[in-house]
Amino acid sequence: MKALRRVLVSAALTLSLGGLLVPEAVAVPAAVDVVAAAAPSCRAGDNLDEVAAKFISRCKKGSIRREFPSDRLSRTLGQIYDGKLRGDRDDVKAWKLLNDRRFDK
């Protein structure tokens, strides 16, 4: 209620002082860096530099750890992806689990 009253009073003052004056802060909005303001993505392909354990903690449900190969937790997602391309069974399984929507938070 106080905020509405404040807006009405400032509008009345603006009109009484000679018309519609727009304060500089409102007239020129500050530029916001969209990339920096956005939250980190939870797509495995977008986070190849992140360690699997941290990615799982941030983006996946804890139940993924039951099936996730434990020796792959300390590797980066990029290393897991490269292993998947080479055909390493544990890396294929890890990458599949990281991209499985059932485990998304």
Task: Give a yes or no: residue 57 inside a domain.
Answer: yes
pLDDT tens, N- to C-terminus, the chain (105 residues): 666 666 666 666 566 666 655 555 555 555 555 555 566 899 999 999 999 999 999 999 999 999 999 999 999 999 999 999 999 999 999 999 999 999 999
Give the pLDDT score at 46: 95
Task: Give a yes or no: residue 24 inside a domain.
Answer: no
Task: Give a yes or no: residue 65 inside a domain.
Answer: yes
Give the pLDDT score at 40: 83
SS3 49: coil
- Phi then psi for 88, rounded to 5 degrees? -65, 125
Instruction: Retrieve residue 69's tokens.
Output: 């190969």
- The structural domain count of the chain equals 1
Give the pLDDT score at 70: 96
Give the pLDDT score at 27: 56
Task: Give a yes or no: residue 17 inside a domain.
Answer: no
Q: Could you tell me if 61 and 97 are in contact, meaning their C-beta atoms sit under 8 angstroms apart? A: no
Domain residues for the domain of 54 are 44-103
